[in-house]
Structure 1
């Protein structure tokens, strides 16, 4: 076999392996996720369910997100999305759940978006504000059903595995972390809630001090220049007086 034939065969085999690897990897990457993926326990948060379209010959036309009933969320609101109709479904819980806001017997069980389209090669984000997040669990699972225009239905409902590996159809999962000692339990934006620091409160006096120094320096320079002019004038007058005295004598 010639060297060129060997090279061609090596290139063909490499391309085939690469295509197979990509073919196996892409479906694992293209699944419904929740962003951001974590929030503080006891707080409020805004998340987006990010839905990619996985099909080349169909569009995503409906998304159903199921909310947890074992850790119900007292407050849920949905951001309108142009081109999509949204329906928030509430229902009775299997059993009442005690929270800091009182006993909850009903909560949001499902949010459904329909009427729009996620075309092939595109994705869409569906935003929800919710809270207060529970303090007695480290994650919340939101099983999601994705429906395509061709009638295909994909259920993203597999819970995280104990060994950390990813299941075939992982459900969007929000990790919950303990609230920080310095922050409150309501998840407010840190930038808007941050107290004034010493450097911030000292800014005005510092600027004022610098301005005062510049002003005094300018005044001193002005007075010094005026004194110099008066001195020069005196020298001129003196010189003229000497010249006149010499002529008179």
Structure 2
């Protein structure tokens, strides 16, 4: 049996590194609990989709608890088959004006989605919550911290970016609130903003496209590393024959 040469080992290592780099790209791109759309208009209803494709250190996910920013007084979770949904109510210190100009004395402070069957690590799932973004939060960045509970352990996605804008280890899902629509309408005939849903779909598509491009670039780079390794190995073999 011919012994494995150093050049062959180098080629195998390079190919292995390239393959791992290519495969790791999509995983790294989806390593957080994320929310879409990333931007929404003030004075409007917006459907926020929270999604995750991993557990807690590979342990299956059992529930997600979403903290609602105190500025938001109107929250409507979407029903989801296979999940139980709980709205945690908080009493306000004093009455506040709600989405339709009515006085409200309480708000939904948290929404808890609990899975009937734990979600295995490596499988993506999502849920939606409709919120009304008041006009006074225009120009602000709103965070929606999420506690991800698992069969073993939990992960609290509640950290803000650093002063230099660097992403923390466990970033809180967040959106940026833009100015209110010029027509002054906060919702469509069915009680929610059609333009917000269109923006959500556009933002989600753009986000997916960006992730796909990043994954492809990193994947190509990984394959390039493998090709370079093969070239080096062939060159070494030709040198020995000469």
TM-score band, normalised by the shorter chain?
0.5 to 0.7
Aligned residues: 187
SS of residue in 1 equivalent to 2:134 = coil
The superposition leaves residues 38-71 of structure 1 with CA deviations (integer Å, 9 ceiling, x where unpaired) of 11011111111112224575311111001112x1
Larger Rg: 1
Q: Classify 1:141/1:97 alpha carbon distance in 2 versus 1 (closer, same or farther; 3 Å).
A: farther
Conservation of the 8 A alpha-carbon contact between 2:69 and 2:143: yes
What's the TM-score once normalised by structure 2's chain length?
A: 0.64
2:123 and 2:159 mapped to 1: Cα distance?
24
SS of residue in 2 equivalent to 1:63 = strand
1:138 and 1:185 mapped to 2: Cα distance?
20
Conservation of the 8 A alpha-carbon contact between 1:41 and 1:185: no
Q: Classify 1:96/1:26 alpha carbon distance in 2 versus 1 (closer, same or farther; 3 Å).
A: farther
SS of residue in 2 equivalent to 1:121 = coil
The superposition leaves residues 216-246 of structure 1 with CA deviations (integer Å, 9 ceiling, x where unpaired) of xxxxxxxxxxxxxxxxxxxxxxxxxxxxxxx
SS of residue in 1 equivalent to 2:91 = strand
Match of 2:234 in 1: none
1:161 and 1:145 mapped to 2: Cα distance?
20
1:72-91 matched pairs, under 5 angstroms? 73-91=72-90
Please report how far the alpha carbon of residue 12 of structure 1 lies from its aligned counterpart in structure 2 after TM superposition: 1.3
Which one has more relative contact order, counting CA pairs under 8 Å at least 6 apart?
2
Match of 2:214 in 1: none
The CA RMSD over aligned residues, in Å, is 3.4
SS of residue in 1 equivalent to 2:44 = coil
2:83 and 2:196 mapped to 1: Cα distance?
32
1:141 and 1:25 mapped to 2: Cα distance?
25
Conservation of the 8 A alpha-carbon contact between 1:44 and 1:133: no
Match of 2:179 in 1: 178
Please report how far the alpha carbon of residue 28 of structure 1 lies from its aligned counterpart in structure 2 after TM superposition: 6.4
Match of 1:139 in 2: 141
1:39 and 1:148 mapped to 2: Cα distance?
31
